Amino acid sequence: MEQTLYEKVGGEEAVSKVVDYFYDELVLKDESVNHFFEHTDMEKQKSHQTKFISFALGGPKQYSGKSMAKAHEGLNLQPEHFNSIATHLHDALAHFGVPEADIQTALSKVATLKDDILYK
């Protein structure tokens, strides 16, 4: 039986480390996107993101937050913002040794959400 990408990266504990690095070392230091998180409870955000990414990687369905469209409503995110976040996710996964092919699989799943995130 083939492992899910979630299992390959090390499960929720590993995803949580990726999410911490993603926000603390990449997103929040990027002036092109960090302003979107100025008034965000980052512990809550990290928890939601860990559950969401876990689910996106084939892990258990734990994410029960707002829909992607609702969560991004009023932000008017543009393609360059989406691309910055996707690049940061790529770099965070790579930082923790996730193979490029697996990163591309994860990013292709995230890309399916683009229409629910942009221009809201």
CATH at residue 84: 1.10.490.10
Report the number of distinct structural domains present in the chain. 1
Residue 35 assigned to a binding site: no
Structure tokens at 38: 């100025």
Virtual torsion, Cα 34, 44, 90, 88, nearest 10 deg: 10
List, for residues 4-44, the tens digit of each pLDDT value: 889 988 998 999 999 999 999 999 999 999 999 999 999 99
d(CA 43, CA 46): 5
Question: Which positions ≥6 away from 58 have C-beta within 8 Å?
Answer: 4, 5, 6, 7
Task: Determine if the pTM surpasses 0.85.
Answer: yes
Average pLDDT taken over every residue of the chain: 91
- Per the structure, the complete domain to which residue 16 belongs is given by 11-117
Interacting residues of 13 by C-beta distance below 8 A, sequence separation 6+: none
Residue 102: inside a domain, yes or no? yes
Model pLDDT for residues 109-120, shown as the tens digit of each residue: 889 989 999 988
Whether 48 has a binding-site annotation, put simply, is yes
